[in-house]
Every structure is written in C-alpha cells, then in structure tokens.
Chain A
Amino acid sequence: MTAEQTSLPREPGAPVPAIQVRGLHKHYGRHEVLQGIDFQVDAGQVVCVIGPSGSGKSTLLRCVNRLEEPTSGEILIEGIDICDRRTDLDDIRSRIGMVFQQFNLFPHLSVLKNLTLAQRNVRRRSKDEAVEIARQTLAKVGLSDKESAYPAHLSGGQQQRVAIARALSMNPDMMLFDEPTSALDPELVGDVLAVMKELAQEGMTMMVVTHEMGFAREVGDHLVFMDGGVVVEEGRPADVLSHPQHERTQSFLSKVL
C-alpha cells in the first residue's frame, strides 16, 4: 500500500505542500521540453499556469500524476515522492483528479456509470454508495437530469462538467485541469468556469493550465508564466497580469489580452 512518507527537510509544524516539483527535467529524445522546473501548490491554493503553445504546460501537469515520465527531478504529492518505486502510484493518482482538454469520458458507459466505475473499482465502494456520491456530484455540476445519457449525446460543455464530476466523485485531495475550456464553443465556456470557481471557493486545491486570463485573475491565488520549458515569472495573478516584470511575459500578455 502507500509507502512511508519521505522525510522532508522542513520546519516542524509547517504544512506539507499539496504538490511540490523540484528540478524537473523532461526530454523527448534530444528535445528538452522542461528545463528544470521548481513549482509548488499549497493545500487549498488555486495555481494557474499560463504560457505560449509548446512551452511545456501540459507536460508539467502530466508529470504531476506521472502520466508523463520525468527524465529527472523530484515530484512530491503531499510529501510523497511519486517516482519512488515503493510508492503506490495508483493510490496517489486516485487522490488527484484530472480534467483533460478533450474530456476523455468513457463513450461506452452512461454518465452515471462514468462516475461510478472508478469509485467501485478503485475505492471499492458499494454500488449504492457509489451511485449516491455520483448523484451528489452530478447535482453539483448541474447535470442531475443527464445521469442516464451517453457522452455522445451531450454538448461539449456538459461533457466537460461530467468529466469534472467524474474526478470529484473520487473525493480527490486536489484537481489538475489541462485547458479545460479550450475545446469548447465560446458560449459553453462560462458553465465550466462557473463550476471550477465554485470548487475553488470550497477550498479545493487546484492546478489549472488555462488561457482564460479572467479566470486566472479572479479565481487564482497564484499565477505561473512558463515559456520554453522554464518558469519565467510567477506571483499574485493581478500583479503578473497587470505589471509583468519580464519582457517575455510582457510580449505574451500583449498578444493574448
């Protein structure tokens, strides 16, 4: 089961960060996509990651639950090194909700089954309990009436909210979002962002790769700007967005704002 917590050099009593990334490098062949990333998300914090296309945002996010294998560096989830062989990676993953740009709902299962599959299979919940939790999370994302629908019959915005509900029904400690609204028609973006905002207000720990600067400014506690595989600048969202210090940040923001 869960490996022993790695002992960390930290002050006694200081809270363990939810996500801590140290010196992360990732190569694809000779292409170095992440060139030494240090990054942290504290419990209850909402950290938004922005940056131009190809800067390595998705790669960083996917390294956090090891969908992508880091080349070197350290990734600690609640203090546990996920690259340690003794760590039960599946157990860690079940505590990290992940939301993909392309939703990735299971098309052969109804909405309700999408939400209960991993609850039953991973959490070993009884059928009744899994269904009850699934209904609660569906209500939360405003889709109670869709539980027997199949993903193909839902709009993109509805599918993404089901995907969020699927992750939430595992009662994760934190949520990762990879451009959750980028594949949506503009009029459907608001519903998804509203759900994410509510989640943030409830104190969920969130790491959000996004192009929605409004969301980052309003909901984010911390903003990270990446370019070329490194963190160029970070700070309070309002500060970074309104007074970017680096030239690369300035030029990126002048294009997207």
Chain B
Amino acid sequence: MTRRQRAALIQVVLYAVLVVGIVVLALVADWPTIRDNFWNPDGVSWADGNWQDLITIGLVNTVKYTAIAFGGGLALGLLLALMRLSPVAPYRWLATAYIEFFRGLPALVVMVFMATGLPIAFGWTPPGGLVGAGLIGLILVAGAYMAETLRAGIQAVPKGQTEAARSLGMRPGATTVRVVLPQAFRIVIPPLTNEFVLLIKDTALLFLLGAAADQRELTSVARDFLSSGPSTGTATSLIQAAILYLVITLPLTQLVAWLERRQRRAVR
C-alpha cells in the first residue's frame, strides 16, 4: 500500500465509525420521549403553540431592549472614550475609574442594584419599571466596555490625519468629528458588532428582575411556557427560544467574520 492509499483507507474507516455511531445512537434513543419533552407537538404547533408569544412578545422585546442598551452604551462609551483621551487630566481619571469599576462587576449585580437600589436611594423609579432599571444597568456596563473599544479605534487612526486637519485650520472638535471618528468607527465595526451579540444575550438577565406580561423578553416568555401553555412540563419552549436567539446572533457573528476578513484584506 502506498502512503496515499493508506491515508484514504484511514479516512474511510473514520467516516464509517462516525456513521455507525450515529446509527446506533438513533436506534438506542427513545425518540418519542425525547420529542415529547424537547419538541412537544402541541408546543411547536404554529396555530396554537408557543411561537406566537415567543416571537411577537419575546423576540420583539429582546431586539428592542438590545437596541436601547446598545444605543445608550455607545453614546456613553463615546463620551467615556473621549474623556479618556482628553488633555484635561481629571476627565481622564474619572473615565478610567468608571471603566475599571463597571468592567469589574457582573452585569447582573449592576442591574439588580439599579432595580432595587435606585428606588430606595432616590425614591425614583425609571420609566419601564424594573425592565427600565435593568436596562440602565446594562447601559452602564456596556458603556464601559464600548469605551475601551472606541478608545482603541480612535488611537488606531494615524496621527498624520489629525495633523493634516489641524494644519488646514480645523479646530480640535471638528477634527475629531469630521476626520478621526469616521475612521475610528470603521475600525471598530467588527468589535462593536460582537458587543451587540453579547448584549442580545445579556438581555436574558432581565428575566431575573421580573416584568409585566407584555414587557417580557425572549427568555422570560420561554420560562413562563415551562409551567403554562400547551407544552407545560417540557423544555420545548427553551429549545424554541434558543432557535430564535440563534436566528439573530448567527447572521451577526457571520457578518463580523466577513467584516474582519474584508478589513484584513483592505489594509492601507
């Protein structure tokens, strides 16, 4: 046998083992039980199953909350990044302290603190009640992470760009807004998209705070279907929620991979 023949044979054997393994598992498994517990026909029925609420309430709110947390986090992150790069030292200290503080805490702790601590400390309940408070917590944490991403992006813009703009007489603010930031944002699109995917998943933490029926995000809706509705007592709704999460996160992670490939190719 030549080397190539031997390699081919090994490959055939490996494939055969894999196929046999899958067939054995399929034969041994108790399919009806598995189906009833994880993909219950009543739960996945399109007409009167779980999909309606999961999509029109859960998915819609998840996307809405993610957008709010991302938008708020981005604005806060930009402010913090510019403070960190400010020539005024106290701004730098303040931003650094903020970033280190909020990156060092679990998002959940901050969210619970906002939900319970804010009303106690200030007698103030944010709009949206517990969900609103939780979102403020998410924004505070996301802002800290995005600040570091944006700072790196701003610093990756060559110094010559600032010099060219200033030598034309442009003021520091205009230079930042018209020349530096547009280039910085282009650099940080892939990491920011990643941040967006992380936030989609972090909105699931809101379920721990509790929410009114039509405020629930995907995980809360799925959890409620564990003990009520057509598939009560089975994990069906969780599988359905997982599928809906993947429907939005997978295209985004693919997009990030594509953007990163393109950026690597287009290095000036």
Contacts and interface: CB of A to CB of B under 8 A. Distances in A.
Interface of A: 65, 67, 90-96, 98, 100, 102, 104-108, 117-118, 121-122, 152, 163, 166-167, 170
B67 interface: no
A106 B161 contact: yes
A112 to B, nearest CB: 15
Given A100-B160, A121-B174, A152-B268, A106 B167 contact: no
Nearest to A68: B163
B168 A94 contact: yes
Given A106-B179, A107-B268, A108-B186, A122 B169 contact: yes
Interface string B154-177: 000010110111111111001000
Contact of A93 (B161, B167, B178): B167
| Shortest 9 CB-CB contacts between residues of A and residues of B | A94-B169, A118-B168, A104-B164, A98-B167, A104-B160, A122-B169, A93-B169, A90-B169, A108-B182
B249 interface: no
B215 interface: no
A122 B170 contact: yes
Given A93-B169, A96-B167, A152-B268, 14 more contacts: A67-B163, A90-B170, A95-B169, A102-B160, A104-B163, A106-B164, A106-B179, A107-B183, A108-B182, A118-B165, A122-B168, A122-B170, A152-B266, A170-B168
Contacts of B168: 93-94, 98, 117-118, 122, 166-167, 170
A118 B174 CA distance: 10
Interface in B92-131: none
B167 A121 contact: no
A91 B166 CA distance: 10
